[in-house]
Amino acid sequence: MNEVPAAQETIVSMGAMDLIANASFLVQLVLLLLVIFSVITWAIIFFKWGTFKLSYKNTEDFLDFFWSGKSMDHIYTEAKKHPSSPVARVFQAGYVELQRLMEKERQRKGKASTSDPARMVPPESSITNLERSLSKAGRNEVMRLERSLPFLATTGSTAPFIGLFGTVWGIMNAFQNIGAQGGASLAVVAPGIAEALIATAIGLAAAIPAVMGYNYYIQKVRYIKAQVDSFSEDFLNIVKRNFLAS
């Protein structure tokens, strides 16, 4: 009848840090690995929060300027002021490709590069090159935004199992200690079980924020991708109406 109070007193008197300090080397190694995963996870979460916030703000400002009716040259200059906007970066790629096509058309017609650029329009058949340039730039932006997110997914899926491994190993050591001491009282078993369960707790503490952060930011990436795709279509329509010869 006195085993439970004795076990409680033993665990409370030791404390969590004492339990970790008295754990086996492998359990301590598992705990260290999980703590590292957790620190990196939170660093990614906070870094991505700033990245997406700035991306949204830059994109909103750039789109307001883009639809203000300014010339392509002015828009290109403005786009350089919004380096965190995926849409602005896609526009820059499209603008550079459009200028390349127009310069190629100038050379084909044998006219000086100082001629009126509005008359030096490439044929509509070259729209494929422009589409490819916009598509490539869009993919690059999505890849840039998704950077580090796979680590969150990996942490979310593996951290609980790593913690469980540490728990199983700790419980095995606890039972070995029981055999060595020749007794199976709760006061003997409880500290070993408690230190083993800490691994599972830390594994869950690392995994839960990682899964939530991954799902949250993946939704933001999808939203920005939709913005980029929509802008690319609008940009192509503008180019077809105003810059491409039939």
156 vs 71, more confident: 156
Q: Which of 88, 103, 85, 78 is nearest to 134 (CA)?
A: 88
Instruction: State pTM to two decimals.
Output: 0.79
In whole numbers, what is the pLDDT of the chain averaged over residues? 83
What is the spatial distance between Cα 220 and Cα 12, in angstroms, rounded to a whole number?
44
In the prediction, which pLDDT does 10 show? 47
Interior/surface letters 194-228, b for 16+ CB within 10 angstroms, e for the rest: bbbbbbbebbebbbebbbebbeebeebbeebbebb
Give yes or no for a contact between 188 and 177, defined as CB atoms under 8 angstroms apart. yes
In the prediction, which pLDDT does 118 show? 47
Q: Which of 244, 246, 199 is nearest to 94 (CA)?
A: 244
How large is the average pLDDT for residues 53-72?
93
Least trusted range by pLDDT, from 109-118, 165-174, 186-195:
109-118
Most confident of 14-18, 100-104, 183-187, 242-246: 100-104
Query: What DSSP character marks residue 125?
Result: G
Q: What is the pLDDT of residues 207-217, one digit of tens each?
A: 999 999 999 99
Q: What is the pLDDT of residues 90-118, one digit of tens each?
A: 999 999 998 888 888 777 776 544 444 44
pLDDT category at 175 given cuts 50, 70, 90 is confident
Residues 6 or more apart whose Cβ sits within 8 Å of residue 128: none
Q: Is the pLDDT of residue 23 over 90?
A: no
In the prediction, which pLDDT does 110 show? 66
Q: Is the pLDDT of residue 204 over 90?
A: yes
Q: What does the domain layout of the chain look like in residue ranges?
A: 3-242
CB atoms within 10 A of CB 92: 18
Q: Is the pLDDT of residue 39 over 50?
A: yes
How large is the average pLDDT for residues 183-207?
77
Going from the C-alpha of 28 to that of each of 18, 195, 246, the distances in angstroms are: 12, 10, 71
Most confident of 21-30, 62-71, 149-158, 161-170: 149-158
In the prediction, which pLDDT does 114 show? 46
In the prediction, which pLDDT does 183 show? 60
Q: Which of 179, 202, 198, 201 is nearest to 189 (CA)?
A: 179
Query: What DSSP character marks residue 115?
Result: S
Residues 6 or more apart whose Cβ sits within 8 Å of residue 173: 24, 27, 192, 196
CA dihedral sign of residues 199, 167, 12, 25: negative
In the prediction, which pLDDT does 169 show? 83
Q: Please provide the distance, in angstroms rounded to a whole number, between the alpha carbons at the two ends of the chain.
A: 94
